[in-house]
């Protein structure tokens, strides 16, 4: 992991800790997230992951960065803002990431981990299809095929701590029992 990616991971961890520290009603928590700047900071973090992906020449780092950007794209629709701190991501970054993902699907360059992640996200097709239909054929086909047969992540099959230091994406996958306990 590069120093830049490590710094972004640490920044995301701090944002998450600040997000879950808010208390009160749903409306109050959302107001706190907005007034504290957390939602805007997540927007900036999402864009920073994308910028680092574009600047990186390391293929492994590019894959990890696209996984994180795609996770945040999906998570803004899958999880309420009051729990994630994520809302109103930059639509240009979302679209650019899905365009790159479409290209990777076309050339069959996704690793196994990314494939099952994307299969899982595809069950929330409303989070991806509005960005892909009519112009990203490989992503659209993948989502339609995967969303018709719910694909579960490989429970308890990854080594312990393999999702550590991977932002909210890692926290999420740990919470659904992905790692060996």
SS3 labels along the chain = CCHHHHHHHHHHHHHHHHHHHCCCCHHHHHHHHHHHCHHHHHHHHHHHHHHHHHHCCCHHHHHHHHHHHHHHHHHHHHCCHHHHCCCCCCHHHHHHHHHHHHHHHHCCCCCHHHHHHHHHHHCCHHHCHHHHCCCCHHHHHHHHHHHCCCCCCCCCCECCCCCCCCHHHHHHHHHCCCECC
Over residues 25-29, the mean pLDDT reads: 96
pLDDT tens digits, 64-117: 999 999 999 999 999 999 999 999 999 999 999 999 999 999 999 999 899 989
Question: Does residue 150 have a pLDDT over 70?
Answer: no
Task: Record the pTM.
Answer: 0.93
**pLDDT-above-70 percentage for the chain:** 96
Most confident of 58-62, 124-128, 162-166: 58-62
Question: Does residue 151 have a pLDDT over 70?
Answer: no
Question: Does residue 40 have a pLDDT over 80?
Answer: yes
Domain ranges of the chain: 3-175
Over residues 134-142, the mean pLDDT reads: 97
Tell me what pLDDT residue 181 has: 65
């Amino acid at each position: 992991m590069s120093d830049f990616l490590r710094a972004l991971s640490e920044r995301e961890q701090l944002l998450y800790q600040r997000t879950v520290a808010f208390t009160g009603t749903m409306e109050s928590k959302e107001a706190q997230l907005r007034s504290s700047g957390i939602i805007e900071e997540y927007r900036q973090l999402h864009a920073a992951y994308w910028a680092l992906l574009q600047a990186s020449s390391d293929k492994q780092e590019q894959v990890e960065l696209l996984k994180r950007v795609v996770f945040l794209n999906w998570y803004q629709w899958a999880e309420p803002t009051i729990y994630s701190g994520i809302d109103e991501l930059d639509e240009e970054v979302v679209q650019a990431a899905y365009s790159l993902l479409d290209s990777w699907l076309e050339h069959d360059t996704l690793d196994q981990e990314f494939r099952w992640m994307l299969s899982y996200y595809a069950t929330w097709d409303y989070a991806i299809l509005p960005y892909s239909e009519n112009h990203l054929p490989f992503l659209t086909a993948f989502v339609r095929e995967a969303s018709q047969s719910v694909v579960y992540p490989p429970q308890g099959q990854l080594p312990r701590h393999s999702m550590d230091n991977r932002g909210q994406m890692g926290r999420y996958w740990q919470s659904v029992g992905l790692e060996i306990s």
